[in-house]
Chain A
């Protein structure tokens, strides 16, 4: 059974069409890199899969059914927004809040649920980390904690929205490695959105490239080439391969790198606040 099916689907946000007449199918156990310029609709696509945004045209199916909110088979790692600088809640309580967090009443956990939290923390090596408050964690530590959370409840599909943002190169590699190991082991289908293709090259099975309201799914060799990307970016794109790396260039500038630098600014802003906290 295919995990994600988009069949001539169109997604609108506030009257603007973000994706238009998009069709693709993702099979079980695949590791898909979700790429594309800023604003191409990566988050929007995930929201549609989560059942938060019904398609305005066509059909979206997840595990063969219409997406619905709160599907326990989907683990979700939202794009990191600014965390309140004063958020003095320890990591363990933070991720435990998501366990049946939609139920009414007091936030008590059963023994089984507590064990599930510990087991998940263990699987990503975050048990020690979870004793500390979020306001004292680095970007990489927080990322690992959120990844643990996304894996709780043994999802079959993992949606990771820009998990590499605000991480340095070494922590990016660690994050990718953890996701790959855990997901291969448990045969979880992964949709991993990112700005840079190169770090994911050794890991992903196929790429889903968004741009210009379209989506193209295929292997790196099928998708990451000049004619396909030129259409997605709506610009004249060259693809340069060198030394096992792929560079997507527009008029001599590295498109991904430009996007990436932009994000790095966000990262710096955040890190700045963080270091303030320590001094």
Chain B
């Protein structure tokens, strides 16, 4: 009993320790905002089977971020401009393009290539390349938190506005069309929302690891629950837990934060996958 009390107190003290550093409280706030946005937007990305499009958007964002550095503005705005433009273009071109793996693959490789070119011409920016690719949440300052909060609020408000028809046309496009849902508009608006979320997410875990927050937690949530609201809640809780635990883990081990979050994301996903496989299908397979 005494042992337990001592342990809890020790843990509490070390946690207080961690928050004694301003960069840690900033990182917790920023990661918290981004985790909520990523979990919720990512849930629909997974539901629609468009995770690869999300991945492509982040790579295209890399070119935008380095390009922004080249002309002397903050990388976030370049990231936002490029992902938004690409998301809207994908939506406008419709299913024919946005669900074509090869076309998306070629474009994302091209975007990374351009990102490299921009880096090449702006050599002093090269130190920031790692931060863009793999994130640098410990360098987040107060103004960035405010920016993330505003962007996050816009993203979630837009998602809430289209959520009902988005679900309908994700699940049953033919019927949604017959009922008068503007499919093209909804899918374009959604990709624009994904673009916003990707830009925010890249600030925390970097463009290469947006999957860890935008795909890992929602995919894990959909393994353990099949309800809509419970799925959204679970995705958000997973994303929050993974990013905060990841930060804590990084603080005590000195490993990179994004690595810790990536590991936790993978662990949670595979644990949920194993759990749902062990529970198996809810009904016996009838003999042929």
Contact = CB atoms under 8 A, between A and B. Distances in A.
Contacts of B169: 101
A97 B167 contact: yes
Contacts of B285: 275, 278
Interface stretch (B2-10, B56-64, B155-163, B204-212): B155-163
B72 to A, nearest CB: 40
B43 to A, nearest CB: 11
Given A52-B178, A76-B178, A278-B285, A133 B226 contact: yes
B287 to A, nearest CB: 12
B176 A102 contact: yes
A90 B226 contact: yes
Contacts of B162: 104
A97 B168 contact: yes
Interface in B235-288: 281-283, 285-286
B283 A136 contact: yes
B163 to A, nearest CB: 5
Interface in A74-107: 74, 76, 78-79, 81, 84, 86-90, 93-94, 97-98, 100-107
Given A84-B49, A98-B175, A131-B282, A103 B226 contact: no
B165 A70 contact: no
A103 B49 contact: no
B228 A105 contact: no
A253 interface: no
A204 interface: no
Contacts of B165: 101-104
A136 B178 contact: no
Contacts of A100: 164
A50 interface: yes
B172 A102 contact: no
A142 B180 CA distance: 24
Chain B interface size, under 10 / 10 to 19 / 20 to 34 / 35 or more: 20 to 34
Given A131-B282, A132-B282, A136-B281, A107 B47 contact: no
A89 B228 contact: yes
Contacts of A81: 174
Given A52-B178, A70-B180, A136-B283, A102 B168 contact: yes
A105 B179 contact: no
B283 A132 contact: yes
Contacts of B49: 84, 86
Given A69-B179, A70-B180, A278-B285, A105 B161 contact: yes
B184 interface: no
A198 B239 CA distance: 55
B271 to A, nearest CB: 16
B222 interface: yes
12 contacts: A52-B178, A76-B175, A89-B222, A101-B168, A101-B169, A102-B180, A104-B162, A106-B164, A132-B283, A136-B283, A275-B285, A277-B281
Interface of A: 50, 52, 69-70, 74, 76, 78-79, 81, 84, 86-90, 93-94, 97-98, 100-107, 131-133, 136, 138, 149, 275, 277-278
Query: 10 closest pairs, A vs B, by CB?
Result: A101-B168, A70-B180, A78-B174, A90-B226, A69-B180, A88-B222, A133-B226, A107-B164, A50-B178, A136-B281
Given A78-B178, A86-B222, 5 more contacts: A89-B47, A100-B164, A101-B169, A105-B164, A107-B228
